Structure 1
Amino acid sequence: EHNLPNQWFRRQDVGTSKVLALREIVRDFSGVDIVAVPEKYEGQPLRGIVIAAVDHMDTRRMIWEAVRERIAVKRLLEGRMGGEGFFIFAPNPCDPTDIERYERELFPQSEAAELPCTARAVIYTTLAIGAEMAQLVKRVATIGTPQGGRRIPFVTMRDFASLETQYGM
């Protein structure tokens, strides 16, 4: 319940898994039924566009190991946020340069910064990373179509405190 101010969930969602609550919110807003799998990721095969929206570095590594060099995976979109900033990494898991760059960004959970609960996320940071992820999904999904052709940055960084946004190709 203390996370409601910095997440896009409703009071009625308290006590419901985030995945199931999100399914209901998407259906309420759009009429679209998404597939929600309310279980912990444990290395199952992945394909398409993989979005890693997890809190734990060790889970990020597990997801990376599952997508690395898999032709069935178009792109990994992996977001990290805290307070007034975020990073989104978008490596192509079959590109040797992207593999090398992304693996430099992975580190053990024991080395991750511990932020106080109030500094972990702010609602506008949450909404901004969601919007940025959505446009990246569109870019990846339209590769090879008349709507495609836009570059996909390897990393997107946004800092609301400094009003700075950077894209790294």
Structure 2
Amino acid sequence: MAGQSAKKQVASNTKILKEIHLITWTTLVFFGLFTLYFNRPASSKPFIFFSLPSLASLFVLEKTGRPRVDDSGKIIRQGQDLSAEGLTEYLFDVIYYTIICQFLAFATGSNKMWWLYLAIPAFAGYKVYGLISAGKEMFGMGKKPAAQNAAPEESQKSKRQQKMEKRGDKPKMRYR
């Protein structure tokens, strides 16, 4: 039973890479040929330019996720888990988003659809900004909230004093 998880990951990575290669290369060839044949959109330069990030993502996934197995079936390197979250997930998103933009550019016959591709760096910038602001707060370099600045007047009293004041405001019941 030793190495069952590694064998499962090798099988999973091989399957995922096979599927992503099939999807990517099929759409690239399909839209490339139709762009040249129908001359729609008029220029193929954006198609080529905006396909490069998808190909770069595919290359990174191939290099990090492809398992290496020798002839006898022994696993040399199982590769990074391609079903993991994080950067791997974003690389797949870039590939899928490229395919969607290719389809929209071909369907509308306009290269204006490639402007949608700006969502990728915008999202990356949003995530980086979130990380930077979280780091600033963690190290105390960020601005302190207004609630913390107003709180020192009330926090000068101890908890015991605050409880005593609350008890003093309540009417006391006397029983005979």
Length-normalised TM-score, structure 1: 0.29
If each structure's strand is expressed as a fraction of its own residues, which one has the higher value? 1
Name the structure where helix makes up a greater proportion of residues: 2
